[in-house]
Amino acid sequence: MMFRFAYPVILVLLAVVGAWVFFSLRRKPPGITYSMTSRMVRFAGGGGRFLAKVPMALRAGCLILLVLAAARPQLYNVSREIRSPGVDIMLCLDTSGSMQALDFKLDGKPVSRLTAVKKVVSEFIKKRETDRIGLVVFGEDAFTQSPLTVDKGLLLGLVDKMEIGMAGDRTDIGSAIAIGGKRLKDLEAKSKILILLTDGVHNAGDLTPEQAAEAVRTLGIKIYAIGVGGKGLAPFRVKTPFGTHIIQQRVELDEKTLKKVAKTGGGKYFRAADTKQLDEIYDMIDREEKTEVKVKEFFHFRELYPYLLVPALILLMLEIFLRTTFLRKIP
């Protein structure tokens, strides 16, 4: 819920009320002069002066509330009706053991490949406000972490909780493509895309990546493939009886297969050797895969002026009562 004044310009009258109060306090109260009454001041006490100002305070409060009520304070919220399904996007992310290589950097500090991927993917999800996005996690096995949804908070939470080896240490690219395609096939959308991200070689499962890509393409799904990391040696953090050490291990990236997958899927292949390149790749995909979405907004208002008008009338009646009874002035 949000708050606003429908006619905020009316609030300028608050300055007029303030000026009236200021000059009223400085103005000498009317009265009749009698001789020798100065000797009776000590019998009056200070309470009389305070009570004399009560009616003015009540009137000032009444005027302030009336000005606020006239400005029409409102609570409101906005609901949206999306008339187009937009783009359906399935993210297939590799969490195999090789994703713990420390050859990426964030804020100048070395981080694992998965840590960099999680950051960039989260930013990509935030940009796709009206699209349905799903998440497939794969390693030795592949499973749906989230079906297609517009709940970006859920997706961001799941991406944040991704861990190395949560689906096994080996890499089953074929199953990841097949599961992602299965989630997309029966949905109506102007565009369906599958974004595959991996840093390794297909070495698990019976379904090859090429076979999976051919099957998915027949369903009208476009495939983008992203190869992460370099080739050769990469630093890994390893725990030993003598503490944690950084060692160099050989890693392989099967770019040939990934290029075939992207070509078969009618998409493109990208290579990301660092965080900047990975960020640029997702930005490029974000720009290419756009569709116009018709959004109709509904504003729901709740008027608050009665909550100010009633107290204002009560203050006015109380002022009139006091001026005609207990605080009545006798000239």
pLDDT tens digits along 78-89: 766 555 556 899
The residue type at 169? D
Residue identified by tokens 């040939």 is 256
- Please determine, for residue 157, whether its predicted confidence score (pLDDT) is greater than 70: yes
Q: What is the pLDDT of residue 232?
A: 77
Q: Which residues, at least 6 apart from 113, have a Cβ–Cβ distance to it below 8 Å? A: 98, 99, 100, 101, 103, 104, 199, 228, 229
Q: Report the top-level CATH class of 84-288.
A: alpha beta
- Please determine, for residue 243, whether its predicted confidence score (pLDDT) is greater than 80: no
- Any idea which of 86-90, 156-160, 275-279 has the lowest mean pLDDT? 86-90
Report, as an integer, the average pLDDT of 30-53.
60
- Any idea which of 76-85, 113-122, 295-304 has the lowest mean pLDDT? 76-85
Could you tell me where in the chain the CATH 3.40.50.410 domains are found? Answer: 84-288
Q: Which of 187, 189, 254, 184 is CA-nearest to residue 216?
A: 184
Q: Which residue has the higher pLDDT, 64 or 297?
A: 64
Q: Which of 53, 65, 54, 56 is CA-nearest to residue 20?
A: 56
pLDDT band for 32, please (50, 70, 90 cuts).
low
281-299: burial string, b at 16+ Cβ within 10 Å, e else: bbeebeeebeeebeeeeee
What is the SS3 string spanning 212-261?
HHHHHHCCCCEEEEEEECCCEEEEEEEEECCEEEEEEEEECCCHHHHHHH
Q: Tokens for 57, please give them.
A: 């305070």
- Please determine, for residue 298, whether its predicted confidence score (pLDDT) is greater than 80: no
Q: Which of 50, 58, 76, 22 is CA-nearest to residue 316?
A: 58
DSSP 96: S
- Please determine, for residue 254, whether its predicted confidence score (pLDDT) is greater than 80: yes
Report, as an integer, the average pLDDT of 303-311.
92
238-266: burial string, b at 16+ Cβ within 10 Å, e else: eeeeeeeeeeeeebebbeebbebbbbbbe
- Any idea which of 4-18, 111-125, 221-235, 261-275 has the lowest mean pLDDT? 221-235
pLDDT band for 33, please (50, 70, 90 cuts).
low
CA distance 323 to 310: 20
Residue identified by tokens 């609901």 is 79
Could you list the beta-strand ranges (E) of 95-190. Answer: 104-106, 109-111, 132-138, 142-149
Q: What is the pLDDT of residue 117?
A: 94
CA distance 110 to 116: 10
Residue identified by tokens 């001789």 is 35
Report, as an integer, the average pLDDT of 145-170.
93
Percent of the chain surpassing pLDDT 70: 88
Report, as an integer, the average pLDDT of 224-251.
84
Which tens digit of pLDDT belongs to each residue from 185-215? Answer: 877 777 899 999 998 889 988 899 999 999 9
